[in-house]
Amino acid sequence: MDDTYIALLRGINVGGNNKIDMKALKLAFEQAGFTAVKTYINSGNILFKSGHLPKKELGPITENAILEHFGLNIKVLIYAAKEFLSIAKALPENWVNDKEMKSDVLFLWEEVDDEKVMEQLQLKPEVDQVIYVPGAILWTVARENVAKSGMVKIVGTDIYRKVTIRNINTVRKLVSLIENLT
């Protein structure tokens, strides 16, 4: 598991912008030298093995591969499998993403990955349930309160530009894929 990573791309295949085909993305990662490459849904989730490259080199390598293959300058967050699993493990079991609840994980850029990031959020304690864990903010709200949630107020802010969001179902599926890959 030490050489297993997950790459989370920000802002691809959203509203017809920054279109990237997942088969082509898999090929781009393989051509960049990564192995056991798997993609999951069109939002830009890639599991891969890196060999012996240090984690800090993986972001620039993957971003460069995307630029070369697709002509897109896309921010890529890289998590070691253990880091990703640690974030997922912090999710309360009763949090779901269904008709009644909306639960998301906001994965943080390194420069904002600090508990103080919570001070930049317009939280509404009577509506939002929010937990900071290293690497991410875990957020849930009742669907009936989504419009009242502080989550809707982060769109367009500086902090919003420094996160990539996945719903809890995607995160839990990625955990399953990581466990099957290692």
Helix axes 55-70, 22-31, angle to 10 degrees: 120
Global model pTM greater than 0.85: yes
Place of tokens 């995307």: 66
Spans of the chain, pLDDT less than 50: none
The 8-class DSSP code of residue 51 comes to T
Angstrom distance (rounded) from CA 122 to CA 124: 7
Number of neighbouring beta carbons within 10 Å of residue 115: 10
Backbone dihedral angles phi then psi of residue 35, each to the nearest 5 degrees: -120, 170
Domains annotated for the chain, with CATH where assigned, are 4-83 (3.30.70.1280), 87-167 (3.30.70.1260)
What pLDDT sits at residue 23? 96
47 within 8 A of 177, measured Cβ to Cβ:
yes
Backbone dihedral angles phi then psi of residue 58, each to the nearest 5 degrees: -70, -40
Q: Is 89 exposed, middle or buried (0-12, 13-18, 19+ CB in 10 A)?
A: exposed
What pLDDT sits at residue 124? 87
What pLDDT sits at residue 152? 83
What pLDDT sits at residue 1? 63
